[in-house]
Amino acid sequence: MFTVAPHAPVSRVDAATLASALGALHARTTTVVGWGSGSVFDYFQRLHPVRLDYLVDSDATRWGSSRLGVTIHAPQRLLAEVEATTLVVIYSSAWPAIQQQLARLGHFLAVPASALFADAATHARLEHLDSLGAQTPTRRVPTSRDAVVVQGPVVPGMTERVLRALSALHTRNRIVLSTWAGTDGSLLDAVRGYVDDLVLSDAPATAGIQNRNYQLVSTRAGVARAMAAGATTILKTRTDLAVLAPAVFDQARWWLARAGSDASRATGLSGRLIVPASYTRKYLLYHPSDMVMLGAAEDMARFWSAPLDPRDGDLLTPEWLQQPLASVNLAGNPAESYLGLAFCRSLGRPVVGTLRDSWSFYRDLFAVVDNDWFDLLWLKNLSIPDAALRSGVRQTIGQQFWTRLQMHDAALEAELDAVDPASLSLGALAGAA
């Protein structure tokens, strides 16, 4: 038996909530309901199969059918359940919106699958995040030439926690929050004390495919503000993603001094850009992670100088899903490839359009590190997908593989032939992009 806090903040997942959810999941008296019956459900139910009494989904066309042997019902089915003994596992990346929808049906304990099935290290990071946030704030006096740019919308239950932790870790480094004009004033008031600069931009007239223009506008504005304040090194992250590594700038200088930057400097850069393994795709062309990035300020400005995408719409449509991955990438999709290709053009670097050239792109211009190097905690998706995969098209480039690229390891020739992005469709990625 467990109880539900009746006024738990929407979009907030903390260690106490996860402990309650895990206890409920393994209790025989709990009714366990899954919300969502799409690819996220398939992904987690295959990796972490659990006993589900049934699924609910907002898509009426799915009601009465089943997915992986579990029957799908309308969300209103939950009205018949006892709130105190029901756990709802949300199988969707849009889980904050679903939590709001669920609140209209009752006060159920509900957690996203990405949080419920996160590993012990992630749970420890979640506790560390909130312990940093609980420290008494000190008056901010930025004196260094290192800056943290946090870009994106102010997300209730996430952004304040991210900024509290960053403020505790970076007492002398400038913190810039770059978000949107029209943001709720109460949300801005809650975070002002944790940042040195608040940049409010107008939304772009065209969102771009996958809303990438929003990311470009907010990141560029944040980087520009940091540079105007004298920053020479910038760490860029998102409003829902905490970088918990202490002394990350000193760590970066040590790392880059040993990695060498001759190849990147030959293109006109000051040095390499450090990116995490997650979403630095091994078999997608020119696809460095855009979640977190650290480098010289002028190099960061160069990377984020891509023109706004005049196109609009969703990438996961039949028009794109049926095309070969290589063709999709070279057309500037997903957003990471759009940025990677624009970066090449800004440097005058030829784009050969092959997997071998894409790996050279990572080898020469970036330093790819494992997620733990940054001590990443992505509050929107605590189980960062694909980081541990060792086969298939969804693999990412980890620190070990990137090191082998530096060594010009001849054994990598075999891995070039393991997956052919020219013969697989975007649909084969199953929404992982």
Q: Check which CATH number belongs to the domain holding 294 and give it.
A: 3.90.550
Amino acid sitting at position 166: L
| pLDDT > 70 in the chain, percent | 97
Residues 6+ apart with CB under 8 A from 180: 153, 200, 201, 202, 203, 218
Residues 6+ apart with CB under 8 A from 355: 283, 285, 416, 420, 421
Token representation of residue 231: 């920053």
Out of 81, 97, 117, a domain closes at 117
3-state helix, strand, coil in the chain (%, to 5): 40, 15, 45
Alpha-carbon gap, residue 318 to 325, rounded angstroms? 13
Q: What is the pLDDT of residue 318?
A: 87
Helical H segments across 240-354, by residue range: 248-259, 262-265, 297-303, 318-321, 325-330, 335-347
Q: Is the dihedral of CA 98, 100, 101, 103 positive or negative?
A: positive
Long-range contacts, 354-359 (Cβ 8 Å, 24+): 354/285, 355/283, 355/285, 355/416, 355/420, 355/421, 356/416, 358/284, 358/285, 358/286, 358/287, 359/405, 359/412, 359/416
Q: Check which CATH number belongs to the domain holding 86 and give it.
A: 3.40.50.720
Q: Are residues 196 and 67 in the same domain?
A: no
Alpha-carbon gap, residue 374 to 222, rounded angstroms? 20
Q: Which domain holds residue 202?
A: 126-429
Q: Are residues 267 and 136 in the same domain?
A: yes
Domain assignment present for 6? no
Alpha-carbon gap, residue 180 to 182, rounded angstroms? 6
Alpha-carbon gap, residue 233 to 255, rounded angstroms? 14
Q: What is the pLDDT of residue 87?
A: 97
The SS3 call for residue 295 is strand
Element (H, E) at 215: helix 212-228
Q: Are residues 247 and 195 in the same domain?
A: yes
Domain assignment present for 7? no
Q: What is the pLDDT of residue 6?
A: 40
Q: What is the pLDDT of residue 2?
A: 44
Q: What is the pLDDT of residue 1?
A: 44
Out of 117, 134, 158, a domain closes at 117
Q: Are residues 82 and 153 in the same domain?
A: no
Out of 82, 117, 152, a domain closes at 117
- Could you say which residues of the chain have pLDDT below 70? 1-11, 430-433
Residues 342 and 307: beta-carbon distance below 8 Å? yes
Q: Is the dihedral of CA 285, 334, 274, 113 positive or negative?
A: negative
Q: What is the pLDDT of residue 59?
A: 96
Please work out, in degrees rounded to the nearest 5, the angle formed at the alpha carbon of residue 205 by the alpha carbons of 200 and 207.
90
Q: How many domains does the chain have?
A: 2
Residue the block writes with tokens 């690819």: 39
Q: Are residues 31 and 147 in the same domain?
A: no
Count of C-beta atoms within a 10 Å radius of residue 51? 10
Q: What is the pLDDT of residue 386?
A: 80
Domain assignment present for 10? no
Q: What is the pLDDT of residue 430?
A: 55
Q: Are residues 112 and 136 in the same domain?
A: no
Determine if the peptide bond prior to 137 is cis (ω within 30°): no
Alpha-carbon gap, residue 343 to 410, rounded angstroms? 28
Q: What is the pLDDT of residue 388?
A: 77
**Length of the chain as a residue count:** 433
Q: Are residues 316 and 380 in the same domain?
A: yes
